[in-house]
Structure 1
Amino acid sequence: MNQLQPRLEQAKLQRVSASGGLSARRRDGTTRLERLYQEGAAKIRLPARGDGPLEAILINTAGGLTGGDRLAWDIEAGEDTAVTVTTQACEKVYRTTAGHAEVTCKVVGRSGARVAWLPQETIVYDRSAFRRTLDVTLAEDAEALLVEATIFGRRAMGETVRTAIFRDRWRVRCGDRLVHAEDFAIGPDVAVTIGRKAGLGGAAACATILLVGPAAAAHLDAVRTIVDGAGGASAWQVGSTGKLLARLVATDGYALRERLVPLVAMLNGQAGLPKTWSL
């Protein structure tokens, strides 16, 4: 037993290395799948639909992420297509023993495309380490609705996040212009940071909602009505397109969804809310 123990301590745990992606093209007046690939724990399912956009559900069959895991998604919406991407469930980032979990997301919207990136919430656990990048490239007349929501411990489950590392990097380009860039970093003293007024004011859940497109600013008043003191929203004209940015802050995931769900349903137009969000 004593001879075996050092070997067990040196053994490396198997980690997730997975990727998946799809591309869509317009044929016969509707959006159709052109290409789909999936490797490892990354799976994509396409539920039955009517005349609406192509809806893709991303699945991490590993059941969560921890240090050393790598997951990559690649989505392309071809000319004049409509694509909605969501996840089967909330992504969980568990305690790490070494290294960080990493997710990279690449989204492309060709001319006239309408793409919605709508994953369900990311749940961050105590002593976890996580990095995510979202790179979006749009044609000048394309539109994108991008949402990421994060919960730092589920209060209903008695979870508290005291120490963790969380990094979230967004880069959104329209034509040849960078129209949105942000780097959200929190940790290692998460509890201290989110407790400050300049942080989350003691809240445990937050969300960023970004709409990019020529008519984005037209939704500003409706968005502010829904946000109603639980965050803020602004709109800008950026080159030939526009963008609307909203932030939500809430005490927990349930309170966050009370405002996030109607926001997504409104901003996603006729496509409305992804099916998995209402399960």
Structure 2
Amino acid sequence: MNAALFPLSAEQSPPFSASSSRAERAAGEGRISLKLGAEGATKLDRLYQQGCAKIRLPKVYGSNALEAVLINSSGGLTGGDRLSWDIKAASGTHGVATTQACEKIYKSDEGPAELSTAITVADGARFDWLPQESILFDRARLSRRMTVNLTGSARFLALEAVLLGRLAMGEKVHDIGFSDRWIIRRNNRLIHADALSFQGDVIAFGKSPSTLSGHQAFASLCYCGPEDSDQLECKLAEARALAAAFTDCHIGLSAMPGKIILRMTAPDGLQLRAALIPLITLFRSGAPLPRVWTT
């Protein structure tokens, strides 16, 4: 049939007009809350998942902690995608959240992907935020924000690690837009604020010793706890002793009232992870990492 015989009216438009079509964007929201069950074990209280955000709770043997594996079923993030997580840990609970795999951030032509996390940890509870590495590809754009509210003697451990491309695949990352903001409060008082931003040619500005020293991987870690200054200094000394074994990595550690901060850069993801694992284990008092980290 000749389409010219049936012209479109003024009110109609072609169903697949190149000028009007927009790529579909991923959106997801996941919420989880923890409660204290019988015999001191942490149990699921509520779970909500929508869109590409999925949460799985694998069986954990030999531990009273609840482990949540966060999944982005879209397979990665690009410009215009939005993903958010909300976690609440009730008094006395112990939980850990990780990701099923490394989060991939692909090149963007429509602004940044947005990733937000809100965590609330009640008095006497502990929560560890341990996602696997995020991989930024060339021309990736990511805006990430984490907001944490602690009460009383709550303990909290946070890690975020980033790989600039995949070295084994010969990938080079030149142009990125990356913003990462952390806000942590205890009893409504600000105890930690962190803002990290990389914009432009990361190979050029990443050569400086004040940025990445030419390395392709970096990480930030923060432990917040009720320990006094002497206890934190002892933990800091242990961490520095562990870090000294990884001579190819650049690792900085410092202790301040109520917290310990770690910054690290590494030549590649393998060396970054090798250095991170014993340090994370130390700050988790010897508890092993989530199984997805080693499978």
Q: What is the CA deviation profile of residues 82-129 of structure 1, one whole-angstrom value per residue up to 9, with x for unaligned ones?
A: 000000000000011211100000011001000000000000000111
Supply the distance in 1 between the matched residues of 2:204 and 2:214 (Cα, whole angstroms).
Answer: 9
Identity percentage of aligned residues: 40
Q: Which residue does the alignment assign to 1:171?
A: 183
User: 46, 49, 57: which one pairs with 1:46?
Assistant: 57
The amino acid of 2:24's aligned partner reads Q
Indicate the residue corresponding to 1:18 in structure 2: 28
Out of 219, 231, 234, the residue aligned to residue 207 of structure 1 is 219
Counterpart of 1:134 in structure 2 is: 146
Residues 149 and 188 in structure 2, CA contact (< 8 A), matched pair in contact too: no
Runs (4+) off by over 6 Å:
3-6
What residue number does 1:262 align with? 278
The corresponding residue for 1:233 is 253
> Structure 1: how far apart are the matches of 2:237 and 2:253?
9
Number of the residue aligned with 1:34: 45
Instruction: Give the whole-Å Cα distance in 2 for the aligned partners of 1:32 and 1:278.
Output: 24
Aligned partners of 2:31 and 2:217: how far apart in 1?
28
Distance 1:88 1:194 in 2: 29
1:24-81 Cα shifts (integer Å, max 9, x gaps): 0102121100000000100000001233300000000000000000000000110000
Change (3 A) 1:63 1:6: closer
**What SS does the aligned partner of 1:188 have?**
strand
Q: Aligned partners of 1:77 and 1:254: how far apart in 2?
A: 32
Unpaired runs of 5+ residues, structure 2, are 4-12
Q: Structure 1: how far apart are the matches of 2:44 and 2:58?
A: 12
Q: Give the AA of the match of 2:109.
A: T
Q: Quote the Cα distance in structure 2 between the aligned partners of 1:272 and 1:135.
A: 25
1:5, 1:161 → 2: CA distance? 37
Q: Which is higher, the Rg of structure 1 or of structure 2? A: 2
Asked if the contact 1:145/1:211 (under 8 Å) is kept, the reply is yes
**Which has the larger displacement, 14-23 or 48-57?**
48-57
Look up the match of 2:264.
248
Deviation at 1:21, TM superposition (A): 1.3
Unmatched segments (≥5 aa) in structure 1: none
Q: Is the 8 A contact 1:43 1:58 kept in 2?
A: yes
After superposition, the C-alpha distances for 1:209-249 in whole angstroms (9 at most, x for unaligned) are 11000237131011112222521101111xxxx10011111
Aligned counterparts of 2:252 and 2:52: Cα–Cα separation in 1: 37
Q: How does 1:61-210 map to 2 (within 5 A)?
A: 61-210=73-222
Residues 89, 19 of structure 1: alpha-carbon distance in 2 compared, 3 angstrom cutoff:
same
Residues in 1 aligned to 2:58 and 2:286: alpha-carbon distance in whole angstroms: 17
CA RMSD, Structure 1 to Structure 2 (Å): 1.7
Whether contact under 8 Å (1:16, 1:70) holds in the other structure is yes
Q: Does the CA contact (< 8 Å) of 2:138 and 2:173 recur in 1? A: yes
Q: What is the CA–CA distance in structure 1 between the aligned matches of 2:291 and 2:80, rounded to whole Å?
A: 31
- What is the number of residues matched between the two proteins? 274
Give the 3-state SS of the residue equivalent to 1:160 in structure 2: coil
Amino acid in the other structure paired with 1:36: L
Equivalent pair of 1:55/1:85 in contact (CA under 8 Å): yes
| AA in 2 matched with 1:193 | F
Q: TM-score, normalised by structure 1?
A: 0.94
After alignment, is 32-41 or 191-200 more displaced? 191-200
* SS of alignment partner, residue 68 of structure 1: coil
Name the structure, 1 or 2, with higher relative contact order (CA <8 Å, separation 6+).
1
| CA deviation after TM superposition for structure 1 residue 187, in Å | 1.1
Moved more, 269-278 or 41-50: 269-278
